[in-house]
């Protein structure tokens, strides 16, 4: 089954404790992206990747890191989480047509993160 | 730069129609539409790639007006299952896709 998986689905942690949220897709998509969703603010992009070893900042990259060493995986790393990073996180992937997205974006199920 | 969606929220009775607008201050080359039901991930509805293009399936359709730099999503004879938050997304600068803040649609019996 074609899908985007995220782990963990729920996480409660404390300020400053490094964590990684994994994202994996089995559709051979070039494009992968991370979003955070907060009430009233919609889906804000954190980082995106157009292909392996190519990553770019989105609108809200501060406090996050990503890497794209393999096509299927795009982990999100919080080196020192803070309470303002409490949010619902979505990973997504898509095929790429030239430099834009001409195909649908598939979303993972989401990871709800709480930082105390 | 985020596209601007309007209205922010709308409540409909079953069978009524709704229009959700998505506009940008910059030239639009493509528009994505997604729907997110409560507690779930966003799901793709459609992409419009050309000015004047219209698409639709079931009773949900969309149009794309390049000159006006906007797209509209039309929901006809709404059903309870249409409830959710609708997002439009557009390219912005070097970013392939940036989403608007969403329009919350509630359909009541």
Predicted pLDDT of residue A101: 67
Task: Give the pLDDT of residue B54.
Answer: 66
Average pLDDT on B35-62 reads: 84
CA dist list (Å): A16 to A13, A77, A80, A84, A115? 9, 12, 4, 12, 9
- The pLDDT > 70 percentage for chain B reads 94
Stretch (H or E) spanning B50: none
Q: CA dihedral defined by B80, B40, B7, B88, rounded to 10 degrees?
A: -120
In Å, what is the CA distance from B89 to each residue of A17, A43, A72, A73, B102?
A: 33, 10, 23, 23, 10
* pLDDT band with cut points at 50, 70 and 90 for residue B45: very high
Average pLDDT over residues A51-76: 95
Which residues of chain A are within 8 Å of residue B49 when distances are taken between CB atoms?
102
Mean pLDDT throughout B65-94? 90
Distance (Å) from the alpha carbon of B80 to chain A's nearest alpha carbon: 22
Quick one: how far is CA B49 from the chain centroid? Answer: 14
Chain B residue numbers touching A100 (CB-CB < 8 A): 29-30, 91, 96
Q: Which two tokens mark B37?
A: 């039901």
pLDDT(A100) > 60 = no
- The residue ranges of DSSP E strands in chain B, in sequence order, are 4-6, 9-13, 18-23, 31-36, 43-48, 54-57, 60-65, 70-75, 84-92, 95-99, 103-108
**pLDDT attached to residue A99:** 52
**Inter-chain contact B97–A45, Cβ cutoff 8 Å?**
yes
The Cα–Cα gap between A42 and A10 comes to: 20
CA distance A79 to chain B (A): 24
Out of A43, A48, A104, whose CB is closest to B99?
A: A43
Residues of A in contact with B98 (CB under 8 A): 45, 59
- The residue of chain A nearest to residue B44, with distances taken between CA atoms, is A104
Minimal CA–CA distance to B65: which of B86, B50, B44?
Answer: B50
pLDDT at A102 over 80: no
Residue B102, by phi and psi: left (phi above 0), alpha (psi -120 to 50) or beta? left
From start to end of chain A, where are the E strands? 4-7, 10-13, 19-25, 31-38, 42-51, 54-57, 65-66, 76-78, 87-94, 106-107, 111-115
How many CB atoms within 10 Å of residue A54? Answer: 11
| A56 contacts B99? CB cut-off 8 A | no
- Average pLDDT of every residue of chain A: 93
């Amino acid at each position: 089954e074609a899908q985007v998986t995220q782990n963990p689905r729920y996480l409660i942690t404390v300020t400053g404790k490094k964590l990684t949220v994994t994202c994996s897709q089995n559709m051979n998509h070039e494009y992968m992206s991370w979003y955070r969703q907060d009430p009233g603010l919609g889906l804000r992009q954190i980082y995106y990747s157009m292909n392996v070893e190519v990553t770019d900042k989105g609108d809200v990259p501060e406090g996050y890191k990503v890497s794209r060493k393999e096509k299927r995986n795009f982990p999100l790393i919080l080196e020192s989480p803070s309470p303002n990073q409490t949010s619902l996180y979505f990973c997504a992937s898509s095929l790429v047509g030239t430099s834009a997205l001409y195909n649908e974006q598939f979303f993972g199920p989401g990871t709800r993160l709480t930082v105390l | 730069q985020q596209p601007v969606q309007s209205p922010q929220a709308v409540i409909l009775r079953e069978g009524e129609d709704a229009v959700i607008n998505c506009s940008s201050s910059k030239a639009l080359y493509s528009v994505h539409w997604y729907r997110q039901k409560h507690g779930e991930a966003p799901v793709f509805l459609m992409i419009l790639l050309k000015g004047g293009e219209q698409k639709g399936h079931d009773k949900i359709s969309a149009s794309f007006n390049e000159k006006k730099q906007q797209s509209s999503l039309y929901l006809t004879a709404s059903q309870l299952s249409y409830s959710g938050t609708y997002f439009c997304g557009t390219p912005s600068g070097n970013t392939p896709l940036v989403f608007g803040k969403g329009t919350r649609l509630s359909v009541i019996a």
